[in-house]
Amino acid sequence: MSKSPQEIFNFDITADDCVKCGKCIPVCTIHNVNADEVTSPRGFLDLLGAYKRGNLELDKTAKDIFESCFLCTNCVDVCPKTLPVDMVIEQVRSDIGKKFGIAWYKRLFFLLLRHRWMNDIAFKLGWVFQTCGFKIKAETDSMNSRFSLPMLKADRVLPSLRKTSFLNSNPENIDNGGKRKVAVFIGCLANYNYVDVGNSLLDILETLEIDAFLAKSQKCCGAPAYFTGDFDTVNHNAKFNIEYFESFSKDVEAIIIPEATCSAMLKIDYEHFFHDQPEWKERAKVIKDKIFMATEWLQHHTHLEQVLKTKKEDTRIVTYHDPCHARKMQGVYKEPRNLVRKNYNIVEMSDPNVCCGFGGITMQSEKYHFAKAAGIPKADMINKTEADVVTAECSACRMQINSSLGYTESKTVFKNPIELIAEALKR
Ligand code: SF4
Ligand code: SF4
């Protein structure tokens, strides 16, 4: 991408760059479930160009169209001009948010994401009362709503809540010998729901004798708000996190993250977001060199692979799904496979790079029919491998894939590669 962010976000320049070759159409997640030219990458770009030139009003129909993109970046990956369709759609969603406001339940959720103490209380209360509104499925760490609401369908699976979050169940500084030290950014889903991810990462660091700093003041990376157009929340959380990371980054070798979306947000999207705030853009750039997905750092900076070679084989078959924010945005796809392969038999699904259909808060609520339609083919693809476990370093993918597997009555369970690696180390 050779254009400056100012040119990219000048929508008509990006729109004019589209040569209408159509290479993006077959891979477009929304076009595959809603085969209409307006909900395709080149359709989005055309409309954005018209909006910029004043030929398109940002009305409810336009809002509906621009909120239909999954932000999966499949189009960017195949586009001969690498046009950043996801970035311009994220940007126009801010205009949509300003014009129409953000729905009350999203505003409430983003308010919680700004304040960890509020989040801690809300999730604790949620844990106490979750059985009133939800049926719990302990075997998959998930639950179904007992009623259907406009933003929450009863047939979908959600992650269940834990009594105590990952960050609140562990000390901030964990001494594993003191020779090396990393910070851990855990992400909200792994902090409040899939807590075994963080605990497994701590087990791995203990085996490798690497100290862990849990950076307990970390705030949500802001990705849910960014994808929804609530730029005030992104601005608030991103500035806080950058300042916070600067305060300890010299004391640690890396900030490792077992979550693709959080890692991509901190490492790549912060810089895009701050394109018109030069000081913050520079600070985001400096901090990004310290940020790694957990498997990426463990593979390239430790002897974990050698340790795993000394452990027993597991007979379970594993298939790996590539999260969009890992493979396409950060180029991380070999590392999790390489580490998992040391102790498990990996059977690749027909197209691990196809988006799972998570798509963000709007897609998971008002537009869940699209998420469901995109998710079921992914579940079918997983089922065809006959794998015991599907793995991906992303809890958003986990939430969506668990829901999709539920529709197909699959026996396959989801685990983060970090959990599989920690299990292998215990054998
Ligand atoms: S980001 Fe994904 S859903 Fe959106 S236009 Fe591109 S391919 Fe389609
Ligand atoms: S691949 Fe790129 S240039 Fe071709 S139609 Fe899609 S967005 Fe336009």
| Cβ partners under 8 Å of residue 291, min gap 6 | 185, 254, 255, 257, 263, 266, 267
Kindly report, residue by residue over 214-237, the tens digit of the pLDDT.
999 999 999 999 999 999 999 999
Give the closest ligand to the alpha carbon of residue 31: 1
Query: Which amino acid, one-letter code, is at 306?
Result: Q
User: Strand pairing of 134-137 and 291-293?
Assistant: unpaired
The residue-averaged pLDDT of 4-27 equals: 88
Question: Which mutation among 14, 23, 29 tests ligand 1's pocket best, with the greatest number of atoms within 8 A of CB?
Answer: 29
Confidence (pLDDT) at 13: 86
User: Which atom from ligand 2 is nearest to the alpha carbon of 22?
Assistant: 5
Q: Is the pLDDT of residue 22 over 70?
A: yes
Mean pLDDT over 294-305 rounds to: 98
- Are residues 142 and 158 in contact, defined by beta-carbon separation less than 8 angstroms? yes
User: Is residue 178 classed exposed, middle or buried when 0-12, 13-18 and 19+ CB atoms within 10 A define those classes?
Assistant: exposed
Q: Please choose, from the candidates 78, 103, 81, 88, the residue with its C-alpha nearest in 3D space to the C-alpha of residue 43.
A: 88
Kindly give the distance from the C-alpha atom of residue 82 to the centroid of ligand 2, in angstroms, as a whole number.
Answer: 8
Structural domain boundaries in the chain: 5-100, 307-425
> CA–CA separation, 264 vs 260, rounded Å?
6
How confident is the model at residue 3, as a pLDDT?
74
The pLDDT value given to residue 205: 98
Instruction: State in Å: Cα 76 to ligand 1 middle.
Output: 8
Protein residue with its CA nearest to atom 5 in ligand 1: 41
pLDDT in tens, 59-102: 999 999 999 999 999 999 999 999 999 999 999 999 999 999 99
The string of pLDDT tens digits covering residues 131-177 is 767 777 776 777 776 666 666 666 777 787 778 899 999 999 999 99
For the Cβ of 44 lying below 6 angstroms from any atom of ligand 1, the answer is yes
What's the pLDDT at 159?
80
Cβ–ligand 2 distance for 35 under 6 Å, the answer no
CB of 22 sitting under 6 A from ligand 2? yes
Q: What are phi and psi of 259, to 5 degrees?
A: -140, 120
Q: What percent of the chain has pLDDT over 90?
A: 80
Closest CA to 83 of 40, 32, 30: 40
Task: Reduce the DSSP state of residue 107 to 3 states and report it.
Answer: helix
Does the domain spanning 307-425 belong to CATH 3.80.10.10? no
Please state whether beta strands 291-293 and 389-391 pair in parallel, antiparallel, or not at all (unpaired).
unpaired
Q: How many CB atoms lie within 10 A of CB 55?
A: 10
Cβ 86 under 6 angstroms from ligand 1: yes
From the CA of 27, give the closest atom in ligand 1: 7
42 C-alpha vs ligand 1 centroid, how far in Å? 10
According to the CATH classification, is domain 5-100 in 1.10.1060.10?
yes
Q: Is the pLDDT of residue 324 over 70?
A: yes
Ligand 1 midpoint to CA 34 (Å): 12
First-last CA distance in the chain: 46
For atom 2 of ligand 1, the residue with the nearest CA is 72
Ligand positioned closest to the Cα atom of 45: 2
Whether the model pTM is above 0.95: no
Q: What is the pLDDT of residue 4?
A: 76
pLDDT over 70 at 388, yes or no: yes
pLDDT tens figures, 334-348: 999 999 999 999 999
